Structure formats: C-alpha cells, structure tokens
Structure 1
Amino acid sequence: MIDWKTINEEGLLAPTMAKDFPNLPVVKSDGYFYIGADGRKYLDFTSGIATENTGHRHPKVIAAIKDQVDHLVHGPIGIINYESIIQLAKKLKALLPEPLDCFFFGNSGAEAIEGAVKLARHVTKRQYVISFLGGFHGRTMGALSLTTSKSKYRRHLPVGANMTYQLPYAQITETPRGLDHDEYWSEHVEKNFERLFNHQVAPDEVAAVILEPVLGEGGYVIPPRAWLQKIREICDRHGILLIFDEVQTGFGRTGDWFAANRFGVTPDIMAIAKGIASGLPLSATVSSKELMEQWTVGSHSTTFGGNPVACAAACATIDVMQDEGLIENARRMGDYALSRLLELKGKHPSIGQVRGIGLMLGIEIIHPFTGKPNGEGLMNILEKCLEKGVIFYLSGNQGEVIRMMPPLTIDQEHLDTGISMLHEALTEYERELEPLKAEQTI
C-alpha cells in the first residue's frame, strides 16, 4: 500500500511535475469523476488537460482498446502496417478541412509541433519561424523555442537562438472604441508583421508562422476572426506556411471538430493531439499530400508514434463523438456555461474577464482592490474548489486564469454543480479579504 502522505518526500518522481496542482492521489476515474484515494468523488473540469473529451473511461473506447490489445499492441509503423492506423487516417481526412489529408503520427503535442516545423523548413528551404507571445507549443527544445506563455519554461535553456521571432497575440480589450472591429485587427496585425519584416527578418527567409487559434496555457484568449484571416493573407502573400497548433483546441473543444473550422481559416500544416484518443498518447502532424511528399524519406521517423492501441482508441473516440453528438453538446453546454460564468462575474469583484468558446472557458482572477492579475488568489480559490469536490486548473502568464475544460459529454446538471462550487469558493475567498478591505480604506 502506498503512503500518499509521504510519496513526494521519497523523491521518486521529479518535482517539476509531481507537485503540480492538485497532486491528488487517485485510484479510479469514471465519466465526469475522479475517485480519490480518500474515497471521495471529484467532479473533473480538466478532462486530463483537455484529453479525455469523451469523459473518463468511455465504455466504447475501453472496448476498442481491449479488442486491439487482443490482436496487436505495437507496430512500429514503417516496419509493419496495420488496420487501426489506416482507419484513423481515413476518419481524420473526412473531418479536416481540405486539403489537409496526409498524416505523420507521433505520441505527443510537442512531437506534432516538432514535425510541423521540420516539415515547413524542409519544404520552404527557409529557417526562421514566427510565433506569438503567450503561445504554448511544448517543452522539447524545438517547440520551446516557440513557446512564450511563461519565461520560466525557457530559463537556462538557450532555445531558438537566431531561429524564431515573436509577435503580440491579439487581445480583444486592446480594440479602441469607435473603430471597426475587423478593420482594426486587420490593420493591427498587418503593421506588426510589417515592422518585423522591415527591422528583423525578411519575409522570404521565414518558413512558417505558427499559432494557437485560441491560446491555451496563455490564458484561453480568443482572437478576432479578422486577425486570423489577415495572418492567412500575409502568409499567402509571402509564400510562408501557416501552422495551426490545435493540440488543445482540436476534437470538439471549441464547439467544432477543429478551431480552424470555427474561424474559417485553413492552415497549411496542423498539429493535433490531446483529445484525439481519449487519454492515450497519440498525435499527428497534418498537411496536404503535396507538402508531405516533399519531406525526404527517412528525415523524420518514430518508434512508438501511431501505436495500434492508441489508433484504435482514436477511431472509437471519433465514433463516440459523432454518435453521441458531442460537437453540438460542446457548443450548447459551452454557451450555457459561459452565461453562468458571466452571472458570477456580476457577483464577484475577484473575477475580471470571462472568455469562452465551446467548452474552452477561462475565468480571469483579479485582486478585488487593485484589479491586477491575482495568481495567489487563484490558487486559494482552486484549493477551496478541491475541498468542495471539483477540480479546475490554471493558466495565464501569471497563473491568473482558471481553466475550465469539462468533458464534451457534460450535462447541465453537472455544469451547475461545478459552477455552484466555484461560486461558493469565490464567496469564501472574498469574505476572507473583508478585513483587508477595511485597512485599504483607512
């Protein structure tokens, strides 16, 4: 029997991950819930950080995994071939916008990003890549050169030297009053690119522009459609490939199969992972066959990528999402949850902006006296939520945004339960601040 109280003291697990919030000992998961070692059920509004979009241990996904294990556990693809990977490629092709129809399967989101950047550089014969401030693309060395959600991720690591450039990500609150929304954002991003091209790197040396169509780790920031459309236009103008990092936004999270569909902008290359296989490690770098055919044979490979069991789980995941109408449910429940959270904002001075698209919801926590981002307060609130039996997660540059990402199977009853617990936690937190408020007014 494991002594959960002392497990971290033993030093068996690297503390860079082992002590992340909430570090909750869990013995089982089921549907919307984790079952803790303490016997309690915890409503999970993290979905394994947006991976188990079909909920924990969906019976049809589990059945597909068990059936595949009885036949074939490991590839590797290229040495052998197998049905589940071919079936998955066909299913994905039917879901993705044209002309994204060719797949390199890996294990993680960072791998998909590495593949996307390698492909772009190989095809264009250019070396530089432009990413956006606040973006998170992974922590392998190549992906880390593009990641700017937090400076601590890059500390002591000389990543991206002379290889990457960053531009500001769109922030809706920046739009000046009285200006046309679309016109402003089109001109805004055009000027940012123009400044970069004039002063730092020529456009004909840029292989790719990479971005998250909705910021994940960076705080669930939703950009204007016109901003994304203008970036597509700029890339086309200069022969630059556009990469969408849909690791977190893919597979229904934003209320469509992919955020590209919601914004009406199709990238040249897409990186997908997380929700693809209901919790099993799987990812893909996706592009047109025309681009993939320019990637020299053997210049990129994998041992475990596209594992037969993970591919079988992914096929079952897609079937479940289609059969149970989870895309539609994500939109409907996402709209409902956003309306409830906006009601909370009106009741709690600790809530700043509330942002949401589908079941990708961000709640900014601010100090009620200063209005400044309040990461310390957020952790206090998350701990109170955990005590009540619901798990949220954090995001944002200063850890100031509550990340709410329930499974796409969620119903209104359980949304109400979790949001009510958040309301109670916020009320308790703000009550604790009341004595300090009196001091502020003296």
Structure 2
Amino acid sequence: MITYADYETYLSPALYKTTDLMIDRGAGSYIWDTSGRRYLDWVQGIAVNALGHCHPRVVEAIKAQVEKLLTASFNMVNYESTLLWAERIAELAPGELSTTFFSNGGAEATDGALKLAKAYTGRPAIIAFKGSFHGRTIAATSVTASNSKYRKGYDPLMSGIDFIPYPSASQAPAGFTPDEITDYALGQLDDLFSYIRDPGSVAAILMEPVQGEGGYVVPPTRFVKTLREICDEQGILLIFDEIQAGYGRTGKFFASENLDVVPDIMTIGKAMAGGLAASGVVSTHEIMQAWGPGRHGGTFGGNPVVASAGLAVLDEFKEAKVLDNVNAVGDHLAARLEEIKERYPIVTDARGLGLMRAIELNHVDGRPGGDLLEQVRRGCLDNGLLTLSCGVRGNGLRFATPLNTTTDLIDEGLAILEGVLTDVNEKEVN
C-alpha cells in the first residue's frame, strides 16, 4: 500500500500536512482512505466542497464538458459556459458588482484585486487587518497577518502595506464590549491616518467580512458600516475577501450581505466550482474599465470545465434551496455549540454565522489552548472525524461542513467531538 512517507522525498516540505491520510474516494460528507476506513469530513477541502464530495450534479457537468473541450485559453476564445457563469455571478453579487475576472485560486484573486485597486485609483498604499489571511503569493503574503510564520524569511515584501486591528475581542483590550471594540479599531485607523499613512495615498482597505484563518470572527456591523463611510469620504476602495466566507457559507450568498455593506471590489473562490480550482475578482463595470486589455491575465482562469461545474453549483443552490438549509442547520449547530461551551470549561467561545462557525479552546488559567486543540483534533481523527484549526494562536476549531449537510450529520460529528472533549477537558481540570 502506498503511504505518504514512501513518496515524501519527491514533494516539497513547504506544503504542511495536517494528517497522513491516504484518501481514495469521497461522497457527500464522507471520505474513505485506501484501507476502506470512513471519515466524516468537516474540512471539505477547506470550505471548497460546498455541496460535499463529488456531488452528482457537478460530476455530470464536468464529465459532459470534458468530453467536448478542456480549454483553448479564455484569452484566445470564448466559451458559452463561462459567459453564462459571469452573468449568473452578476445576478447574485450585491450592489453594482457586475463584472468578473476569473482566475484559479484565492491568492491569485487577491493579487488581481490589489492590482485593480491601484489601477483605478492611481494610489500606491493598501491597508489590511491583523488576523487576516489572503494567500501565499508575494502580494497576498504582504497583506496577510494571521501568523508571522507566513511572512518569515520573505522580506522585503510588497511595499506600502499597513495593518490595523480587526474588530475582534482577541485584538482589543481585555473586557471590551462590541461597541468598545469597534471604537478601538476605528481609533487605530484614525491614528494610522494621523501619524503614518496619508489617506489620499491609500488605494484600498482589504477586509474579510468574516475572518477565516484568523478564527471565524464576525465583526461588529457598526465597524464595517463606518469603514464604508470612511472609504467613501477618502476616495478609498473597499475590498472584501469573500473567498472563504462567500458562496452561502454564512447563510447569505455573500457574507457582506449580513452586514448590509457593499464593497467596491470582491474576491471569490473556494466553493465556486464544487471542488475544482476557481476564483474571481468581481467589481463594478466602471472600476473594471481601469483595467485595460493586457493589464492582467492568466492561462487557465474561466476554462469551460470549471465554468460548467460552477453553473452546476449555482443550479443546485437554487433548486435545492441550499441557503435555507444553511440557516436552519446553522441554527442547530450554533445551539449545540453553545451547549458545549457551557458544558466544557476549556471551550471559552462559540461564534460564527450560518455554517461558518468555530469554538475556541483555552486552558483554565486563561492561556491559549493551541495544545488542547491539537489533542482534540487528533482524538477526533482517531474516531473518524476530520477537523481543522483556525485562529492566530491555533486554538480555534472551525466547522466547514457541506452547506447541504443535515442535523443528523451535525449530531453525528458532535457526538465524536464531545467524546474527545470530555477526555481532554477532564485532564485539564483535574
């Protein structure tokens, strides 16, 4: 039987492996390894498989397109499926966001969004947030601050980047209320403008409307609305990274809809194509006109196979009422996580929206519980549940189930989780 260790020498160690599983197949919420063992998958390619593994509708769309054409490069020819996909995204996108540039991955979309903002404004600077994750290319790394390890050894990164605190409890003074957190974060932005960065030099503020890698943190609505007003006053574009939070994960098609704020530019990805690599930069027709022919490009973006999968995803969202399911099952998950928080002292927070939820683990003396989290992850894996951490200190457990999951599947996974939590919690409190 092939193992990862047998082939490790052929693969770069730069790609961190969270498990040594050798996976053979997947269907819906489950994956099976090559020995035939089944796992309930609550990672789903890191929120990529919005409809679960190998959704039949998506698979059939891919098969049908593969038999006709793989690619001829969208910068050379047009494909009906890609044009229809762009139209469907425009119908769903908030406000005047109606024009898409297709690419392949989240970091690529981040790079494109930064270039577009600079092209439109003629300004050099970008403001991003502590706790953010936007990708691993040089430009995306330059605006990422969810962990210093992502930036280690790559200086000098892209110039003109400033960071301010995300409006979260972990980045504000202890004990602050949501209103105080909002005022604190806005004050830090005001200080940045006063002491370091003239707002007239800022092309864009880049924000995750719900932080992903940083811990599944939902910002106060007042902060985001005020940020929108500041951007309008200063001629700064507001970019929302919807790569993980978008496409129904929070119960709205885009996370920004929960906040009633429309960005100028939006990046999308992960869940767009049912498991295939896809991303996009979405903006208004006016802003996109600043990106003249040849100012950005790519070989594989918008290829017909991915577009066909993307259309199948949107068809399933509509016909199966996936957003209704996200809200109903998300409410069930939220209630269960609140119960878990009350039951286990090491679980100190439960947060999120829809099916984008997380719990936070800490030691009883208040220290971040990254080590406790790893014990929980290992225990869950041993018992057939695949999970993933989040948070700057690695002490968050994120839930990225399929969006068409059921309450029974949620309860199945939580039964495993609670069994492990019981053991880890008992060792900690005793």
Which bracket does the TM-score occupy, shorter chain normalised? Answer: over 0.9
Aligned to 1:14: 12
Give 2:417's aligned residue: 422
Whole-angstrom CA distance in 2 between matches of 1:314 and 1:326: 15
Distance 1:159 1:261, change over 3 A: farther
- How far off is 1:432 after superposition? 3.6
Tell me if structure 2 keeps the 8 A contact 1:185–1:226: no
Spell out the pairing of 1:10-159 with structure 2 (5 A cutoff).
Answer: 10-17=8-15, 19-159=16-156
For 1:209-358, list aligned pairs within 5 A: 209-358=205-354
User: Contact 2:182 / 2:222 at 8 angstroms: preserved in 1?
Assistant: yes
Letter of the 2:60 partner, please give it: A
1:238-266 deviation per Cα after TM superposition (whole angstroms, max 9, x unaligned): 00000000000111001110011111000
Pairwise CA distance, 1:81: 0.5
**Structure 1: how far apart are the matches of 2:369 and 2:173?**
24
What's the offset of the Cα at 1:407? 0.3
Equivalent residue letter for 1:365: L
Report Cα offsets for 1:338-381 as digits up to 9, x if no partner.
1101111111111111112010111111113x121111111111
CA distance in 2, matches of 1:143, 1:136: 8
State how far apart, in whole Å, the 1-side matches of 2:319 and 2:360 are: 35
Q: Is the 8 A contact 1:245 1:272 kept in 2?
A: yes
Distance 1:168 1:418 in 2: 34
Structure 2 length as normaliser, TM-score? Answer: 0.96
Change (3 A) 1:274 1:178: closer
Contact 1:395 1:403 in 2 (8 A): yes
Give the counterpart letter for 1:4 in structure 2.
T
Task: Give the Å deviation of 1:190.
Answer: 3.3
Tell me if structure 2 keeps the 8 A contact 1:330–1:359: yes
Please list the CA deviations of residues 259-293 of structure 1 after superposition, one character each: whole Å capped at 9, or x if unmatched: 11111000000000000001101110010011111
Q: 1:361 to 1:314 in 2, by over 3 A?
A: same
Deviation at 1:419, TM superposition (A): 0.6
Q: Number of paired residues? A: 429
Q: Unaligned 5+ residue runs, structure 2?
A: none
Deviations 1:200-225 (A, max 9, x none): 11000000000100110001111111
Cα gap change, 1:134 to 1:186, in 2 (>3 Å): closer
1:367 to 338, 351, 363: 363
- TM-score normalised by length of structure 1: 0.94
Unaligned runs of 5+ in 1: 438-442
C-alpha contact (below 8 Å) 2:167/2:219 kept by paired residues: yes
CA contact (8 A) 1:361 1:403 kept: yes
Q: Which moved more, 1:101-110 or 1:291-300?
A: 291-300
Query: In structure 2, what is the equivalent of residue 406 of structure 1?
Result: 401
Q: Name the amino acid aligned to 1:336.
A: H
Q: Write the distance in 2 (CA, Å) between the matches of 1:16 and 1:119.
A: 30
Give the superposed CA RMSD.
1.7
* Identical aligned residues as a percent: 38
Deviation at 1:13, TM superposition (A): 1.7
The residue number in structure 2 matching 1:380 is 375
Deviation of 1:433 after TM superposition, in Å, equals 3.9
Task: Give the distance between the partners of 1:433 and 1:392, measured in 2 at CA.
Answer: 21
Partner residue of 1:205? 201
CA contact (8 A) 2:105 2:270 kept: yes
1:296 CA displacement: 2.3
Report the AA paired with residue 6 of structure 1: A
- Matched with 1:440 is none
Deviation (angstroms), 1:176: 8.7
* 1:178/1:146 CA distance change after superposition, 3 Å: closer
What is the CA deviation profile of residues 148-179 of structure 1, one whole-angstrom value per residue up to 9, with x for unaligned ones? 00001000101445410000001147599897
Q: Deviation at 1:7?
A: 2.6
Amino acid at match of 2:281: T
Instruction: Report the CA distance shift for 1:230/1:175 in structure 2 as closer, same or farther (over 3 A).
Output: farther
Look up the SS of the partner of 1:56 in the other structure.
coil
